[in-house]
Structure 1
Amino acid sequence: MTRTNAIDERCTDGKVDLVRLLFVTQSGAVRAHAVDSSKVESAVQTGVTISELVQTYNALGRRDKSGQFDAAGEVRLQPDPTTFQVLPYAERTGAMLCNIETLDGDPWPIDARSSLRALERDLADAGLSPNVAFESEFHLFKQGPNEEVQRVDERGAYATASTRETHETILAIVDALKAQDISVEKYYPEYAAGKHEIVTGHRSGLRAVDEYVLLRETVDSVARDHGYQSTFVPKPFDNSTNGCHIHVSLWDDGNAMYDPEQKELSQTGRQFIAGILEHAPGLCALTAPTVNSYARLRPQIGAAAFVCWGRENREALVRVPAPDSGDPEGSTRIEFRAADNTANPYVALLGLLAAGLDGVERDLEPPEPVTVDPGNLSEKERTDRGVNRLPRTLGQALDALESDATLRDALGADLCKAYLGVKRSHWEAFTRSANSWKRDRLRSIY
């Protein structure tokens, strides 16, 4: 049975009439075209034509009119049939993740999913496979009759009382994720009112990102069905943040980040960390890519603000979590903490892998791990230890990305140019009107 026939059967069995073709633009927003289920075979075989311009809109929905794309020019959404899902939260609807191809059928250089897939294939040729998980934080809230935001609760981190008001909603989200074969490992209420975190299982690189996109769609859709709004914005309210921590390990015959003799992080793992630290400023432009992101990346609020690493250190840019005692090899990994949900996740993982692999290829050695909150070190102590501040603005991060040859090469010239253009337009829109950081607008997008 062909994959298309299998999808046809699932559409029939699931009474699916519409199939959403999902993709993520440079802005990090999830977009979709939908086709009737009778057109799925045609969509898989020949793609669905869309305008190139869709990739030029920034997070505020404004087109980068000075970019390389104009009104003329089309590409094709090419659905990946292996990603087909019947959506449990949308009546008579399915979904597939898409690559974007040129009209000639070649990978479009602007498409980050295609670029990540190519990197994953290169790693496979070298005998390596990335194992990845995204830890997603989000807020549930209600909009009052006068458009005021009504927070769900004020009870605080991990409080059992914080689980009660949204219990049915969270259960519905978990059930919907499992119905899409997305494993859920943990859930807990986070530090701020209405803030929640769902931890999904580790997957191969591309599949992990695809599942993360489906998670974002699922949370938003189920929340609306239950009378809430959701937001993944990095700084959605005062005294609140949302992160998206990215966990990565590299595997060959075993976990390349684990040293079985020393029973700890391997030399490869240390080199991978060194590469991330080396490229941290430019990497932030890929993982924290909105103006609002830099309201989150501040010292001592549970988000990274300094370029350092540490074992079990939640204020470090790179944390090495404590391994599970029953499976130290399987659980040894790094966690990158300066990422948030406004990122295009394909771009973010592409940059993170490229930075870490550069450290491995160049045999870089990281500095000594930081064992305290770096915000409690004096400025002199941080200077002596090489603990530098991350970019404080999107503008600084974009300048760093533009100067980072390794990250530019990883993206490729076309994707890098398009990405920088869209993000520069976002930064310029903010600098022209720096009054509210457009939080209300961003909450409606992420």
Structure 2
Amino acid sequence: MNTQDVITSAQQAKLRLVRFQYCDNGGIIRGKATHISGLPTRIHEGIGHCVVLAAWSGVETVGAVEGMGPVGEYRLVPDPETFTILPYVPNSGAMFCDWIQLDGTPWDADPRYFLRRMIARLDSEGMRAEAAAEHEFYFAREEMGEYVPADRSLCYSTTGLDEQGEVIDAILAALEAQGVGIELYHTEGGPSQQELSLRHTHALRAADNICRARETIRGVARNFNLLATVAPKPFLDQFGSGSHMHLSLWGTEKSEHPGRNLFFDPSQRGHLSQLGLYFIGGILRHVRGLVALTNGSVNSYSRLQPHYWSSAYSAWGFDNREGAVRVPSTFWGRESTSINLECKFPDHSGNPYLALGGIIAAGLDGIKNRIDPGDPVQTDPGALSEEERERRGIQRFPTSLEESLDELERDTVLMEALGSTLSTAYIAVKRSEIDFFKDKTPQEVVKQHFYKF
């Protein structure tokens, strides 16, 4: 869709407001909205935004970053291809935005631009990425100042499908109306916990779709007097919620195998190619710093625990749902197109542009340096002895956001990929959030994250 198509569609739909949205370093989806009368000019020139917002945290504090204070401006310039009419609020549309400096160039503090740059790196190597996410979330109600599950459904139970059938149908209809492809839906392990899987698409649109799904799930649930939360660990005694990332690499015209899934090799175990193995090797080599990007909240590390199906160790395996990377079984008759890698560890408190960009950067390093991921682990890595894990090079994930940030700062590959402006802002934002929560009880941490995500 080009800019004129957007303007025409918005006018024909009689929209009153069009949101210029983005996901910030705190993992919060924010934005400003233009009145329809201003859309023809705003869509080209953007909406002004103070540079301090690049250092704005998820707890409404400001990270201390030189040059990111009250003086200075950039523009939220929308990507017309992301335009959608919002089905769950009246007379409103939305687009996701790039952060553009006043001289018209992309600002390297922009998480979306980071993903664009990693996509460009893939393209220079004759590859493109397709990705999708599995969205886990809870439905809840507020009772006497506390959040409680909206029902007591069991994992995969048909009763659970019935309990929230009406709201789920409305969510699916709203996503379909916005052009988001849907794969699967089922109830998950916690009471009133849901899982919704989206269809693969190219990497930038996949990250946009993660944001769009978050917005839609929460917006539709609100119309049913429910709170939908994608917080990583909204109930300390229940399963956490992830945003499992699925990814595959495909050859472009620049490659020897244009149009082919580069993770596919029919002669190898699980149909996984050597390139796919190297990609896994890169993820596992960098995972202790990578989780700072994919699991960006204090609450995240209550979820990343052994034996909770979220992964807690730098292990991989075929259909191993406790591994950091799972290689799912291919589908009959679609082996060459369905082979992909699933990163189990990400959650929705991580900015999806940073998360997916970080995974690509780590995987590319694996390909470049032919990093061997080791043998697949075909058991729960948490059930192995410490000695066995050490022998196999399997490491425990960081157990706190602070520890993961320390690992990120030591990871030269990820820091170089992010660039100094973005990495400085991101780390400052996260250090600010850590400071905010340092004196809070676990339950207070949960409550703060419950509504924010």
TM range (shorter): over 0.9
Say whether the 8 Å CA contact 2:240–2:303 is kept in structure 1: yes
Shift of 1:437: 4.8
Q: Quick one: distance in 2 between partners of 1:260 and 1:15?
A: 52
* Letter of the 1:404 counterpart: D
Q: Quick one: distance in 2 between partners of 1:65 and 1:364?
A: 36
| Residues 1:249 and 2:248 aligned together | yes
Structure 1 residues 138 and 50: CA distance shift in structure 2, 3 A: same
Structure 1 residues 245 and 405: CA distance shift in structure 2, 3 A: same
Say whether the 8 Å CA contact 1:67–1:421 is kept in structure 2: no
Say whether the 8 Å CA contact 1:59–1:442 is kept in structure 2: no
Where 2:14 maps in the other structure, the secondary structure is coil
The 5 Å alignment of 1:269-418 reads: 269-418=276-425
Match of 1:122 in 2: 121
Q: Quick one: distance in 2 between partners of 1:130 and 1:49?
A: 32
The 5 Å alignment of 1:252-267 reads: 252=251, 253=258, 254-262=260-268, 264-267=271-274
Where 2:324 maps in the other structure, the secondary structure is strand
Q: Quick one: distance in 2 between partners of 1:103 and 1:66?
A: 20
Q: Quick one: distance in 1 between partners of 2:64 and 2:286?
A: 30
* Letter of the 1:229 counterpart: L
Where 1:142 maps in the other structure, the secondary structure is strand
Q: Quick one: distance in 2 between partners of 1:383 and 1:3?
A: 54
Deviation digits for residues 254-291 of structure 1 (CA, Å, limit 9, x no counterpart) = 01111134471000000000000000100010001111
Q: Quick one: distance in 2 between partners of 1:431 and 1:172?
A: 39
Unaligned runs of 5+ in 2: 252-257
Match of 1:210 in 2: 208
* Letter of the 2:107 counterpart: W
Match of 1:57 in 2: 56
Q: Quick one: distance in 2 between partners of 1:412 and 1:131?
A: 24
Q: Percent identity?
A: 37
Deviation digits for residues 4-41 of structure 1 (CA, Å, limit 9, x no counterpart) = 22112211222211100110110010001000112112
Shift of 1:337: 0.9
The 5 Å alignment of 1:59-138 reads: 59-65=58-64, 68-138=67-137
Shift of 1:223: 0.1
Indicate the RMSD between aligned Cα atoms, in angstroms.
1.3
Shift of 1:429: 2.1
* Letter of the 1:259 counterpart: D
Say whether the 8 Å CA contact 1:120–1:205 is kept in structure 2: yes
Say whether the 8 Å CA contact 1:68–1:418 is kept in structure 2: no
Q: Quick one: distance in 2 between partners of 1:304 and 1:68?
A: 38
Where 1:388 maps in the other structure, the secondary structure is coil
Shift of 1:177: 0.3
Where 2:119 maps in the other structure, the secondary structure is helix
Match of 1:31 in 2: 30
Q: Quick one: distance in 1 between partners of 2:405 and 2:142?
A: 34
Shift of 1:67: 5.4
Say whether the 8 Å CA contact 1:243–1:339 is kept in structure 2: yes
**Which residue of 228, 231, 237 maps to 1:230?**
228
Say whether the 8 Å CA contact 1:132–1:249 is kept in structure 2: yes
Say whether the 8 Å CA contact 2:65–2:424 is kept in structure 1: no
Say whether the 8 Å CA contact 1:292–1:437 is kept in structure 2: no
* Letter of the 1:174 counterpart: L
Shift of 1:73: 1.2
Q: Quick one: distance in 1 between partners of 2:55 and 2:369?
A: 35
Q: Quick one: distance in 2 between partners of 1:325 and 1:128?
A: 25
Where 2:106 maps in the other structure, the secondary structure is coil
Shift of 1:70: 1.3
* Letter of the 1:140 counterpart: F
Match of 1:426 in 2: 433
Say whether the 8 Å CA contact 2:153–2:192 is kept in structure 1: no
Say whether the 8 Å CA contact 2:134–2:243 is kept in structure 1: yes
Where 2:378 maps in the other structure, the secondary structure is coil
* Letter of the 1:94 counterpart: G
Q: Quick one: distance in 2 between partners of 1:261 and 1:303?
A: 30
The 5 Å alignment of 1:120-159 reads: 120-144=119-143, 146-159=144-157
* Letter of the 2:300 counterpart: S
Where 1:49 maps in the other structure, the secondary structure is strand
Match of 1:194 in 2: 192
TM-score (norm 2): 0.96
Deviation digits for residues 418-441 of structure 1 (CA, Å, limit 9, x no counterpart) = 011101111222224345352222
Match of 1:240 in 2: 239
Match of 1:180 in 2: 178
Q: Quick one: distance in 1 between partners of 2:67 and 2:371?
A: 36
Q: Quick one: distance in 2 between partners of 1:118 and 1:377?
A: 39
Say whether the 8 Å CA contact 2:150–2:226 is kept in structure 1: no
Where 2:94 maps in the other structure, the secondary structure is strand
* Letter of the 2:27 counterpart: G
Match of 2:160 in 1: 162
Where 1:20 maps in the other structure, the secondary structure is strand
* Letter of the 1:258 counterpart: F
Q: Quick one: distance in 2 between partners of 1:234 and 1:118?
A: 28
